[in-house]
Amino acid sequence: MTRVVTGHVVSFSGSLDVALDLEQGAVAISDSGHVAWVGSQARLPQEWRAAPRNDFGKKLILPGFIDAHIHFPQYRMLAAPGKDLLDWLRRFTFPEEARYADADYATAAAKLFLKRLFTHGTTAALAFCSVHKSCADALFAAGHEANMALVTGKTMMDRNASPAVQDTPETGARETEKLYRTWHGKSRLRYAVTPRFAITSSEEQLKLSGELLAGLPGALMQTHISESPGEIALVKELFPAEKDYTDVYDRFGLLGPRSIFAHGIHLSEREARRFAESGSSVIHCPTSNTFLGSGLMSMTFLRETARPVSLGLATDVGGGTSYSMLQTMGEAYKVQMLGGYKPKAAELFAMSTIGNASRLRIETETGSISTGKFADLVILDPEATPVLAARHALSQSLEDVLFALMILGDDRAVSATYVAGRCCHGPEAAQ
């Protein structure tokens, strides 16, 4: 594993800007898969000079992308034409997820799913599984094998879905505990308590979810909130006594710094305040939101300085239409522009790396190219396609190069991906 990777090294800071920009940079990777040294090639310490080297020339070496919300059992059902979220779930998603009751099917799919992440430059993720314990076991096992930072959990859903994808409050809680004890803290894996959303969990199941979150040290909680108008209306019907959608989760102890909510498009002022106060995160999933016609999430509204909500960025495959975090950043740019805000490319790259690492609470091990963290890296070619190459000739700054990549790039721009120092995509990767 020991090697030196050279190229244009770029990394980002928690304040959503460029932290490191070394055109002739080098990253030394130790045998354990950690970054042992990072700096300019001219200053590479003597002890690393004879190490095997992968020279990427003018290509960019970035921290691997982190996808903060993706559905493993939807890995092959992108581009399913639902009328809206609830129609899409019922007609396409639940039947597809039902297949994951079969452990062999799930095991084969987990390998393909992770391969898909790596070919798109994604090295860590917070993922939903299906309701089946075997599905979560399969994904954890594949993540363990890859030595990647993977946070996932068995989905809990005990109503408003077909029987093939339902559990009960008791089986859901029992299997969650079992999975946590088997996988949480093993290599780079973490557990996320995963009630799908308020529509598919009874009060009893939401209550147990809150108890699990409180009782399982270090576990995260992931769910969905305020994605589509039809969903919000149904939540109102199912929970008439609560102030709003956020209040439903709040009542069951599901808000807090370990809680991660996908979408949050239509949150009110009161809800945004509760998110900020409780330290809960909202994950923007722009390609899914435009594809399903869910709405235009406003980063500026949620980040208002008096009550800033922590934000992340994600593909939401298979509601999302691309595995590529580059495409996801490009779509986020367009959605924010429609709301009157023009994000910098560096801001969206920072969200997709160190920002998402902080949301997932894995920022001490990944998310930036820093000594002591794992060498989770993506190599990007700003001239990967004729269109990118032509545009690249006009670029005058790093911001410009990143901007063109996020608007025009996708998996074709990913030359190689390293997870904990091991090349898992690119010329050197084992097939």
In the complex, the smallest distance separating the C-beta of residue 128 from ligand GUN, rounded to whole angstroms, is 7
Interface positions, 69-108, toward ligand GUN (CB under 6 A)? 71, 85, 89, 93
Q: What is the dihedral of CA 175, 176, 182, 183, to 10 degrees?
A: 140
In the complex, the smallest distance separating the C-beta of residue 14 from ligand GUN, rounded to whole angstroms, is 27
In the complex, the smallest distance separating the C-beta of residue 224 from ligand GUN, rounded to whole angstroms, is 4
By beta-carbon proximity to Zn ion, the closer residue of 262 and 380 is: 262
What b-and-e string marks burial along 185-223, b requiring 16 or more CB atoms within 10 Å of the CB?
eeebbbbbbbbbbbbbbbebbbbbbbebbeebeebbbbb
C-alpha distances (whole Å) from 416 to each of 117, 144, 220 are 12, 20, 30
By beta-carbon proximity to ligand GUN, the closer residue of 275 and 374 is: 275
Member of 34, 59, 132, 224 binding ligand GUN (CB under 6 A):
224
By beta-carbon proximity to ligand GUN, the closer residue of 197 and 418 is: 197
Of the candidates 375, 428, 376, the one whose C-alpha atom is nearest the C-alpha of residue 36 is 375
Q: Does 197 participate in binding ligand GUN (rule CB under 6 A)?
A: yes
Residue 85, binding choice from ligand GUN, Zn ion, none, Cβ under 5 to 8 Å by partner class? ligand GUN
In the complex, the smallest distance separating the C-beta of residue 222 from ligand GUN, rounded to whole angstroms, is 11
Phi, psi of 31 (to 5 degrees): -60, -30
Query: What is the pattern of x (binds ligand GUN, CB under 6 A) and - over residues 305-334?
Result: -----------x--x---------------
By beta-carbon proximity to ligand GUN, the closer residue of 93 and 280 is: 93
By beta-carbon proximity to Zn ion, the closer residue of 321 and 368 is: 321
In the complex, the smallest distance separating the C-beta of residue 327 from Zn ion, rounded to whole angstroms, is 17
Q: Which part of the chain contacts Zn ion (CB under 5 A), choosing from 100-108, 214-222, 261-269, 416-424? A: 261-269
In the complex, the smallest distance separating the C-beta of residue 294 from ligand GUN, rounded to whole angstroms, is 8
Residue 208, binding choice from ligand GUN, Zn ion, none, Cβ under 5 to 8 Å by partner class? none
Size of the chain in residues: 431
Q: Note whether 345 and 10 are within 8 A (CB).
A: no
Query: What is the pattern of x (binds ligand GUN, CB under 6 A) and - over residues 266-305?
Result: ----------------------x-----------------
By beta-carbon proximity to ligand GUN, the closer residue of 133 and 224 is: 224
Reported as half-sphere exposure (CB side, CA atoms, 13 A), residue 93 has a value of 27
Member of 60, 260, 262, 313 binding Zn ion (CB under 5 A):
262
Residue 70 neighbours by CB distance under 10 Å: 26
In the complex, the smallest distance separating the C-beta of residue 197 from ligand GUN, rounded to whole angstroms, is 4
Q: Does 317 participate in binding Zn ion (rule CB under 5 A)?
A: no
Element (H, E) at 423: strand 422-425
Sign of the four-CA dihedral 193, 198, 200, 202: positive
By beta-carbon proximity to ligand GUN, the closer residue of 71 and 266 is: 71
Of the candidates 130, 174, 178, the one whose C-alpha atom is nearest the C-alpha of residue 152 is 130
Chain centroid to CA 309? 17
Residue type, 73: P
Q: What is the 3-state secondary structure (H, E, C) of 111-148?
A: HHHHHHHHHCCEEEEEEECCCCHHHHHHHHHHHHHHCC
Q: Which residues contact 380 (CB under 8 A, 6 or more apart)?
A: 59, 60, 62, 121, 405, 409, 413, 414, 415
C-alpha distances (whole Å) from 293 to each of 142, 229, 282, 333, 400 are 33, 10, 19, 17, 30
In the complex, the smallest distance separating the C-beta of residue 262 from ligand GUN, rounded to whole angstroms, is 7
Q: Does 175 participate in binding ligand GUN (rule CB under 6 A)?
A: no
Member of 316, 347, 363, 376 binding Zn ion (CB under 5 A):
316
By beta-carbon proximity to ligand GUN, the closer residue of 28 and 285 is: 285
Of the candidates 255, 234, 259, 237, the one whose C-alpha atom is nearest the C-alpha of residue 246 is 255
In the complex, the smallest distance separating the C-beta of residue 233 from Zn ion, rounded to whole angstroms, is 19
Interface positions, 177-196, toward ligand GUN (CB under 6 A)? 196
In the complex, the smallest distance separating the C-beta of residue 225 from ligand GUN, rounded to whole angstroms, is 9
- CA-to-CA distance for 69 and 151, rounded, in angstroms? 10
Any idea which residue has 């190219």 for tokens? Answer: 369
Q: Which residues bind Zn ion (CB under 5 A)?
A: 262, 316
Q: Which residues bind ligand GUN (CB under 6 A)?
A: 71, 85, 89, 93, 196-197, 224, 227, 288, 316, 319
